[in-house]
Structure 1
Amino acid sequence: MTRQHQERRKQTAAHNKHVEKKVKSLQEQLTTRLWESQQTRETATQALAERDRTIAHLQNRLDAMDRAYEKILHISGDCSLDFVLAKTAEASQHCEEVGMTIAVEHKER
């Protein structure tokens, strides 16, 4: 009976040691994962802040472009849509003519 009792104590002690090692290992893993999680969170926060700065910068540029276009339209005297469309059509026609001229010259060569 004493021998069985001693054997059980040894088994229990060995089991306790194994469980303690496992707990220590899991605690270390938890610490590592918590640190990694914090690093990831900080990186994400920085990325979001950078994104927000970029969006604000681009919005400012867009607003400036809008103001510039409105200024151009008001300076031109006739800021009607028909005027803008006529100028666009005129520029498009000119580009087509220049393109055809270049194509003909290239073909002749």
Structure 2
Amino acid sequence: MKDFKTDWTKEELKIYILIYCANADFSESKAEIDYIKSKIETSDFEKIHDEFKKDNDYQSIQKIRSSIKDHGYTNDAVDRLFEEMKTLFLSDNKYDILEQNLYRGLNRILK
């Protein structure tokens, strides 16, 4: 079985999760990308985005789960991530069924 460990910083993990969420409806809006870029302090967006594009859904979930565990996220830290995810979903003024399903799925997986 493939190892899905990453060497991401917490910032890179956050970028990856937000990019993953922006793609819930198979389309990244300009508002979503602008929101992600406004929430990060590094210039790693393109590097992480390129990695995301190479991963399938299973790989993405495994990388997120592994990185959350490796960084020792508390329940409060995970809750803060979910608040940012929800804000991202609403950044383009729509919260469609695909985004809602991804939010619920990640909630089950990460909490």
Q: TM-score, normalised by structure 2?
A: 0.22
Q: Over alpha carbons, which structure has the higher Rg?
A: 1
The structure whose residues are more often helix, as a share, is: 1
Asked which structure has the greater RCO (Cα within 8 Å, sep 6+), the reply is 2
